[in-house]
């Protein structure tokens, strides 16, 4: 049984269904996200073949489909039954890619099962209460030296100045991110870099890369960032997204993206 926030997330994505892919393909904000996702995935697939891959919050299976040709096993999990169906159809050419409904806070896998874990699409930020358990679960199912890459909302970005109440909420919460960002009736937990770094270290996860997307693009108001038809300002958002891609891993620019894309490694616990 899902808790109420998880049920809201599942309901929203069940309702969006295949329409979510259309949003990804048409809206400047999500196009800019995908640019960075693909850049990261290109890097991850350049080296030795991936063995066991877990895609947490796999959605419609876009990242799973990208990784499947480079991996021996891909397992995707998501709360949305509709998106799982779409992911299965997308990856039907890859029999070693399997999908199931599962909660990121209660992963149904043994300890140290996966060499590579990916969780793009704001999965951790969807978990407003219990995100600590989700990070703990990622660490639990990761093999020693496994790579984990995931995305979270950042507390500070230029776009927050278009949302007065959220700005007030962010200022009122010191040292950590606020949890009052809203999209499609879903709340999002935001994070500071120090906050996410501390959370990972508690779970023997060491950050090896931090990238940001929609940094300069977040200067564009939401109605243009999320437009499906292209206006001149929407085209500007796409141009800024290309510049953001060049700056994505450069400090301090990467700290002011709308989202962090973090890559971490599972480390050996320090002996007592």
For residue 160, is it within any domain?
yes
Q: Is residue 236 part of a domain?
A: no
The residues pairing with 207 across neighbouring beta strands, listed in sequence order, are 264
Domain count, the chain: 1
Whether 99 maps to a domain, the answer reads: yes
SS3 per residue for 145-207: EEEEEEEEEECCCHHHHHCHHHHHHHHHCCCCCCCCEEECCEEECEECHHHHHHHHHCCCEEE
Asked, for residue 230, whether it belongs to a domain, the answer is no
Q: Give the tens place of pLDDT for each residue, 28-51.
A: 999 999 999 999 999 999 988 899
Query: Considering all CA atoms of the chain, what is the largest pairwise distance in Å, rounded to the nearest integer?
Result: 59
Domain contains 229 = no
Task: Note whether residue 41 is domain-resident.
Answer: no
Question: What's the pLDDT score for residue 9?
Answer: 86
In this prediction the pTM is 0.94
The tens-digit pLDDT sequence of the chain (272 residues) is 455 567 888 888 888 877 888 889 999 999 999 999 999 999 999 988 899 999 999 999 999 999 999 999 999 999 999 999 999 999 999 999 999 999 999 999 999 999 999 999 999 999 999 999 999 999 999 999 999 999 999 999 999 999 999 999 999 999 999 999 998 888 999 999 999 999 999 999 999 999 999 999 999 999 999 999 999 999 999 999 999 999 999 999 999 999 999 999 999 765 45
Residue 218 in any domain: the answer is no
Summarised one tens digit per residue, pLDDT across range 51-93 is 999 999 999 999 999 999 999 999 999 999 999 999 999 999 9
* Chain center to CA of 131: 13
- Residue 115's CATH number: 3.40.50.150
d(CA 23, CA 203): 34
* Phi and psi at residue 10, to the nearest 5°: -60, -45
Q: Which domain holds residue 15?
A: 4-22+47-213+261-266
In a domain, 221, yes or no: no
pLDDT at position 1: 44
pLDDT value for 105: 96
């Amino acid at each position: 049984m899902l808790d109420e926030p998880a049920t809201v997330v599942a309901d929203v994505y069940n309702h969006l269904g295949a329409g979510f892919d259309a949003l990804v393909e048409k809206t400047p904000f999500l196009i800019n996200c995908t640019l960075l996702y693909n850049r990261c995935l290109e890097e991850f697939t350049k080296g030795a073949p991936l063995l066991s891959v877990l895609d947490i919050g796999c959605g419609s299976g876009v990242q799973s489909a990208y990784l499947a040709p480079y991996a021996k096993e891909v397992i995707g999990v998501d709360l949305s039954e509709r998106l799982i169906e779409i992911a299965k159809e997308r990856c039907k050419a890859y029999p070693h890619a399997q999908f199931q409904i599962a909660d990121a806070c209660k992963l149904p896998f043994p300890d140290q099962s996966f060499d590579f874990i990916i969780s793009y699409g704001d999965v951790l930020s969807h978990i407003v209460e219990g995100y600590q358990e989700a990070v703990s679960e990622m660490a639990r199912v990761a093999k020693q030296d496994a790579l984990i890459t995931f995305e979270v909302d950042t507390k500070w970005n230029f776009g927050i100045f278009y949302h007065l109440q959220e700005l007030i909420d962010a200022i009122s919460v010191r040292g950590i991110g606020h949890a009052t960002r809203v999209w499609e009736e879903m709340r999002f937990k935001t994070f500071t870099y120090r906050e996410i770094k501390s959370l990972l270290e508690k779970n023997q996860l060491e950050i090896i890369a931090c990238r940001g997307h929609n940094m300069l693009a977040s200067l564009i108001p939401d109605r243009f960032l999320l437009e499906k038809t292209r206006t001149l300002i929407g085209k500007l958002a796409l141009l800024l997204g290309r510049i953001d891609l060049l700056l994505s891993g450069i400090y301090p620019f990467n700290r002011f993206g709308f989202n962090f894309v973090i890559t971490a490694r599972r480390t050996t616990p320090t002996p007592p």
